[in-house]
Amino acid sequence: MAIYHLSVSNVSRASGSRATATLSYISGKRVHDERRGETYDYGRKERVLRVGTLLPEGAPAEYADPAVLFNAVELHETGRTARPAKKIVVALPREFTPRQRVQALEEYIRENLNADGYAATYAIHEDGEGNNPHAHILVANRQIDPATGGWARLKQRMEYVLDERGERVPLTDPETGRQKTDKRGRRQWKRTSVSLNPLDRKAKLKALRESWADTCNALLDETERIDHRSLEDQGSDLEPTIHEGYAARAIERAGGVSERCQTNREIRRSNRLLTAIRDELGRIFDRLGELFAARIRRLRPRQTQPGPAEPNWRYFEGDARRQLEADRADHTAALRGKLMDARADVRNREEWWRSHGTKEFEAARQIIDVALKASREARDANIFKRGRLLRNAEQVAGEQSARLRMAVPWLEDTAIPSDWDQASRFRMRTTKAIHDHDMKPRTDLVAELEKQLEQAERAGNERPSPEQVKALALRMAEQRERAEDPTQDTNRPEPSGDKPLDLSEPEDLGESGPFEERSTPNKTKADLLREIRQRADRRTGQQEAEQRQIDPWSAQPPQRRGHGR
């Protein structure tokens, strides 16, 4: 049975841990620490199945070697309490094949770490008996700037501490109780360090836990799904198990009885009993519902005026609620994928702007440069030529302004100043306006998707309304009834696809209808039916004769008899 586990911990220099030492442990390889001059060789190599490194966009190619990557981050972090890396441990479902393990890990790292600029190395482990498949993900705790390929700056900053009213909290002297001041007499206020690293935020850690469950469920069978939520958050009354640990399992392997393992066995036994009781009650209620529905179907024909009876939807209420929650989760995942694509489109467009620009930008730049050239000549001219060149600059600025209005008709300010400094600032404003106008549809799409994703996540945290659950449960009950009793719709006439036989009077009234002589005592019902059948045969024969009329364009020449060439 697939289980869920994901834990995040810091590789902290204050606690004596090193990123290079952790890398040696998870990879089972010898790693040399360049900062300390030490060499680490930890871990049991026989349990390491695969090691891989994934880099974000713009990272140096040499970082593909994990030893180079984590030596670089260790050298960059200089503080004694620095945290150069984070370690994520995930449990791999036993149902996964070796290829699915790698696929799930790499997809998870690309979407949740590489997309935010983090480089990571993963290692897949098993115990000596081939059980307990899990993976260690070592993440460099500083993002890589895609523009420079170096480590990003400002991992944290200082902010003022605010009280409940949003005002700054004074820094007081514990002896006097008064607010402290600096050497210049300025009052001091409490400040705190705020991390700018997304991996230190609770929302990011929650998203990491949820994303791992989604990634595994996409590859697991429907009956083997895992859930990142606790049993309490899932609304389950099952008792959670406790963490056993390596020591407890070692006692069990040696033939002893560990207290923690024994506690978990008792918890699993009680949970299995509770689940079996709940399943049996569910089967009993389902059977009662089937008997009740069959009884209703037998009694329905006896009613004088039968009305549409509402199906027994209560037995499908749990399935309907779970289906609604699954649909919400799928909708949220789809929005998250669209948002990632939209952000990538914005980044790609920004790259295009830095290297190419647009036709409107090039046209506007050339037009403004003509006016800039004239104004620069007027500015740099001597006193004898300045007046004439200033008038020329004003004339050129007016002409180029008209051309700018035609080239960029949506631009609000198209009046190019004749002064060189003002024209330079006008060029910068125009460039920004054209850039913002070109990027607006993409940025608006990102904002709209972020809003929709926020609404979807907010709705996903709420339970479906009783009206929604009842509507879906009703549809499920109706489908169940139609599947169990396929004869309930047999009384409805099936469409034959043919036109009904026209037994009305002929338009020419040349012959009388079969029912005109109904009062004649010599004609029986059999005679009337025979006349109806004969009239139908005549009309059918007439239609076939009309269809067999020879088309002069497709008629074949008559075949000669006898000898011929």
Q: Decide if pLDDT at 546 tops 80.
A: no
Q: Which residues contact 437 (CB under 8 A, 6 or more apart)?
A: 410
Q: Give residue 522's pLDDT band: very low, low, confident or very high (50, 70, 90).
A: low
Mean pLDDT taken over the chain: 80
Output b/e per residue, 442-457; b: 16+ Cβ within 10 A.
Answer: beebbeebeeebeebe
Q: Decide if pLDDT at 288 tops 80.
A: yes
H-helix or E-strand containing 48?
Answer: strand 48-54
- Residue 23 in contact with residue 70, Cβ under 8 Å? yes
- DSSP calls for 73-93: HHHH---TT---EEEEEEEPP
- Residue 381 in contact with residue 407, Cβ under 8 Å? no
Q: Give residue 130's pLDDT band: very low, low, confident or very high (50, 70, 90).
A: low
User: Would you state the pLDDT for residue 540?
Assistant: 67
C-alpha neighbours within 13 Å on the C-beta side of residue 360? 16
Residues 54-63, mean pLDDT to the nearest whole number: 92
H-helix or E-strand containing 556?
Answer: none
Q: Give the span between the Cα atoms of 520 and 29, in whole angstroms.
A: 111
Angle at 104 between CA 100 and CA 110, to 5 degrees: 140
Q: Decide if pLDDT at 67 tops 90.
A: yes
User: Would you state the pLDDT for residue 225?
Assistant: 77
DSSP E strands, 464-515: none
DSSP, collapsed to helix, strand or coil, labels residue 401 as helix
Q: Give the span between the Cα atoms of 124 and 24, in whole angstroms.
A: 13
User: Would you state the pLDDT for residue 525?
Assistant: 60
> For residue range 290-330, what is the model confidence (pLDDT) as tens digits?
888 888 888 777 655 555 556 677 778 888 888 888 888 88
- How many Cβ atoms from other residues are within 10 Å of residue 296's Cβ? 13
Total residues belonging to the chain: 565
Of the chain, the percentage scoring pLDDT greater than 90 comes to 18
pTM score: 0.44
Residues 142-160, mean pLDDT to the nearest whole number: 81
> For residue range 207-245, what is the model confidence (pLDDT) as tens digits?
998 999 899 988 888 777 777 666 555 556 566 777 766
122: which strand partners? 52, 137
Q: Which residues contact 528 (CB under 8 A, 6 or more apart)?
A: 514, 515, 518
> For residue range 429-473, what is the model confidence (pLDDT) as tens digits?
888 888 888 888 989 999 999 999 888 888 878 888 888 888 888
> For residue range 254-266, what is the model confidence (pLDDT) as tens digits?
878 788 888 878 8
Q: Give residue 187's pLDDT band: very low, low, confident or very high (50, 70, 90).
A: confident
Q: Give the span between the Cα atoms of 102 and 215, in whole angstroms.
A: 12
The residue assigned the tokens 């269809």 is 547
